Homo-oligomer: A and B are copies of this chain.
Amino acid sequence: MTIPRAAKTLRRTRIQEEKEEQILEAALDVFSASGFRGSTIDQIAEVAGMSKPNLLYYFRTKEAMHRALIDRVLYTWLEPLRAFDAEGNPETEIRSYIRRKLEMARDFPRESRLFANEVLQGAPHIEDELKGPLKELVDEKAEVIRAWAKSGKIVTCDPYHLIFSIWSTTQHYADFDVQVRAVLGQEHSGEGRFEDAARFLEQLFIGGLRPDPLEA
């Protein structure tokens, strides 16, 4: 009697690693484009270039695939915020945070859309991650920002809404890419638009956060 579920084997074989990688890559394609409910196992199987039962041999359910994908992507996704350094200079820290987030929007748009789809549809699968690890990390960084404001390095402002505004403005270029391209027209839709966006956003945030000269 064989135990046919890869998940139940203790040692991961070479084939397992390769195929799981292949599947998650395809799943990222599909989930990020259609959301969880709108995606089908057949689609993922086709993109992955394998049969549906074969795919289900590695991930027992559609949920399991989604789960694995979220887990893998979440850590990387929070990396830029984690790099936010309390000791650094506020201006350079904010500038490089914007840069990093914009680079992620440019280089990993599917990952951004995966989360966007999930959150947009009520975050039924990642509620715990949002209320747990994410909130804790944001709380911590919000304190850093508050300290900067208190010491007069930046203007007094709500640190949470500051973080939200950096998230939204940068991820916009991944999540709403079609709209951005449509509005900019073909001539400005090249990769240069990320440079333009970076320049504008740095200008906006550095200018908008400059400490009030009256208080100085």
A182's contact among B131, B183, B184, by CB below 8 Å, is which? B131
Find residues 130-179 in chain A having any chain B CB closer than 8 Å to their own CB: 130-131, 134-135, 138, 155, 157-158, 160-162, 164-165, 167-169, 171-173, 175-176, 178-179
How long is the Cα–Cα vector from A38 to B119 in the complex, in angstroms? 14
Find residues 24-66 in chain A having any chain B CB closer than 8 Å to their own CB: 33-39
Find residues 72-127 in chain A having any chain B CB closer than 8 Å to their own CB: 113, 116-117, 119-123, 127
- Report A190-216 CB contacts with B as 1/0, cut-off 8 Å: 000000110111011111111000000
Docked-complex contact A165 and B200, CB < 8 angstroms = yes
- Interface residues in chain A, defined as those with a beta carbon under 8 Å from any beta carbon in chain B: 33-39, 113, 116-117, 119-123, 127, 130-131, 134-135, 138, 155, 157-158, 160-162, 164-165, 167-169, 171-173, 175-176, 178-180, 182-185, 188, 196-197, 199-201, 203-210
A-B contact pairs, 24 of them (CB 8 A): A34-B37, A35-B37, A35-B38, A35-B117, A35-B121, A113-B120, A116-B175, A116-B176, A117-B121, A119-B175, A119-B176, A127-B178, A134-B182, A160-B188, A161-B200, A161-B201, A164-B172, A164-B183, A165-B169, A165-B201, A165-B204, A204-B205, A205-B208, A207-B207
